[in-house]
Amino acid sequence: MATRAAPPTSIHVVKARVLVRPKVGILDPQGAAAERALGALGFDGVSEVRIGRLIELEVTDPATLPEMCERLLANPLIEDYEVVLGAS
């Protein structure tokens, strides 16, 4: 009886989140508008509202995430990014 080849090992996928934010010092009119709206709703003491972007993805090689961010997911001139691994 022929020996069977071992089944292919399942590719390990890692969940990740990329948080993209407007860089400090760059005017964020969306954040300012949301801040004013919160004030209008009676929520006092809200400041420094900044609106960015959340990208969820699954990757087999998390080491490639910074390059993905630099080249596409964020524009490093105007945005900072943060990679969070293992997010559920």
Partner 1 sequence: MKFGVISFPGSCDDVDAQLACARVADVVALWHADHDLQGVDAVVIPGGFSYGDYLRAGAIARFAPIMTEVIEFAHAGGHVIGICNGFQVCCEAGLLPGALLTNTSLRFVCRQVSLEVVNYDTPFTRSLEPGRPLSIPVKHTTGRYYAPEAQLDRLEADGQVVLRYRAGENPNGSLRDIAGVTNEGRNVFGLMPHPEHAVDPLTGSTDGLGLFASLSDSLGALVRGGR
Binding residues (CB under 8 A) for partner 1: these are 26-27, 29-30, 33, 72-73, 75, 77-78
Instruction: Report the 10 Å Cβ neighbour count for 20.
Output: 17
Give counts: helices (H), strands (E), the chain.
2, 3
Least Å from the CB of residue 6 to partner 1: 38
Identity of the residue, 11 or 24, whose beta carbon is nearer to partner 1 in the bound complex: 24
Residues in CB range of 38: below 8 A, 6 or more apart: 46, 49
Identity of the residue, 64 or 75, whose beta carbon is nearer to partner 1 in the bound complex: 75
Identity of the residue, 30 or 87, whose beta carbon is nearer to partner 1 in the bound complex: 30
